[in-house]
Every structure is written in structure tokens, then in C-alpha cells.
Amino acid sequence: MADAVMQAVNVTKDYETRAVTTRALDDVSLDVTRGEFSALAGPSGSGKTTLLNMLGTIDAPTSGIVRIDGDDVTAMSEAERSDLRLEKLGFIFQSYNLIPVLSATENVEFVLLLQGLGARERRARAEEVLVELGLGDLLAKRPTEMSGGQQQRVAVARAIASNPSIVLADEPTANLDSRTAESLLDLMLRMNGERGVTFLFSTHDRRVMDRARRIVQLVDGRIASDESRP
């Protein structure tokens, strides 16, 4: 697909445990186009997180091809994949994964530091995104001084501050109460509309699926359905 920012082509993933082989993904093909707000859905063990990890180059397929912006990442070295993740991908995890000794601003700055931005530009961009996400009064606060919802907003800020091609979110609402989860999802939907950020979720949360414009349902490592809506 010409405008595909991310592709899985006939991807299979096997996990070996002693004498047992478990097939987590079975010949899955998927295109994600620029600007999507989409969800990989399914019960535990369906393969949705495995597929997200394949697309995010966190894990490698047993067979098949993964492309990011047209580049075959399965042919890259680990160092090349690491550079690609840094330049083109943003990640949001259900456990937030913030660095506890750093402030909100410093957590967002961290990825920008790895990208080689100067101190003044890093600080300005981090604070701009945090203010945009309603966290202007928490710039100097550490994660232990924030609520779960505030920490997840910082994680969103960190994910989008580097202007990635796509943000991958693995169960980002799992540890949040309903009101906070809905507020966060509305925020990410606004980022999608205003900034054009592409979001792909792995989820079994109905609140995420209600907002997604495309739902790819996985069952036993295969795509069972792929439905889009306006």
C-alpha cells in the first residue's frame, strides 16, 4: 500500500519452551496507513501484543517481513533497528515506564537527548508538549508525585515529542479508572486529529475500541476480522 507507514507481510512468530513450540502469530499480513487511529483487539493469548511488538521492532518474526516507511526492518541489524525506533516510533506502555528519578520534563527530554538535540531545544519542546497535554503545573514533578493518569499523560508526551511516524500503545488504559482512561483516549484522539499522529493500540478495552476508526480482531494468532468506520 502506497501510504502504508507500517506493514507486516506473512509474519509468523513461534516461541520455543523446552520441547514445546507455541505459535503466537500465524501468517499475518497487515498495513497501517498514515494518520490511522486503530486497535489490535482480542482476548489474552490472541497475538495482539506479539503483533504490536513485531511492528515496533521490539521482537523479530520467525518468518515474514516487517516494513517501516517502506524499509525492511527484518533485514536490519539490531543497532539499525534501535536507531529506527528512536527516529520513527513512539511507545506507550500500560506500566508507564517513566524514569522515577527524573521530572516530567526530564522524562520527555530523555528521548530527545538520545536523538542528539541540544539542551535548550530539548527543554523547550518537552515543556511545549507537556503544556499542550494539560501538564503545565507538573513540569518539575517526579512520577511518584503524580496520579496514574498524569503519569500516563507524561508517557504520551514522551511518545509524541520526537514527532514519530507512529505511536504504538500496549494496553495504555489498563491501570486507569474509567474517567481517567476516557480523558486520556480523547486526548490521544485529539493528537491524532490535530497533529496527524498515527496511533496503533493493542487492547481488549471497549473504551479504546469505541474510539478506534479501525479494529483488527485477532483470534489464535490470526486476523479474524478487519473493520474500518468513519
- One-letter amino acid at 140 equals A
Structural domain that includes position 93: 37-46+77-228
User: Is 135 part of a structural domain of the chain?
Assistant: yes
Quick one: which H or E segment has residue 226?
strand 222-228
Q: Is the dihedral of CA 138, 142, 148, 154 positive or negative?
A: positive
pLDDT attached to residue 155: 92
Cell 497475538 belongs to residue: 47
Q: Are 88 and 164 in contact (CB under 8 A)?
A: yes
User: Is 123 part of a structural domain of the chain?
Assistant: yes
User: Is 8 part of a structural domain of the chain?
Assistant: no
Q: Are 40 and 203 in contact (CB under 8 A)?
A: yes
Cell 520513527 belongs to residue: 88
pLDDT tens per residue across span 162-199: 888 899 999 888 888 888 888 889 888 988 998 888 99
pLDDT attached to residue 19: 82
User: Is 206 part of a structural domain of the chain?
Assistant: yes
Q: What is the pTM of this model?
A: 0.90
CATH number of the domain bearing residue 111: 3.40.50.300
pLDDT tens per residue across span 108-125: 999 999 999 999 999 999
pLDDT at 67 over 90: yes
Residue 175 has which C-alpha cell?
491501570
User: Is 65 part of a structural domain of the chain?
Assistant: no
User: Is 27 part of a structural domain of the chain?
Assistant: no
User: Is 6 part of a structural domain of the chain?
Assistant: no
Domain count, the chain: 1
Mean pLDDT of 38-63: 94
Residue 213 has which C-alpha cell?
476508526
115 alpha-carbon distance from chain centroid: 18
User: Is 139 part of a structural domain of the chain?
Assistant: yes
Banded pLDDT at 2 (limits 50, 70, 90): low
Q: Which of 15-19, 24-28, 148-152 has the lowest mean pLDDT?
A: 15-19
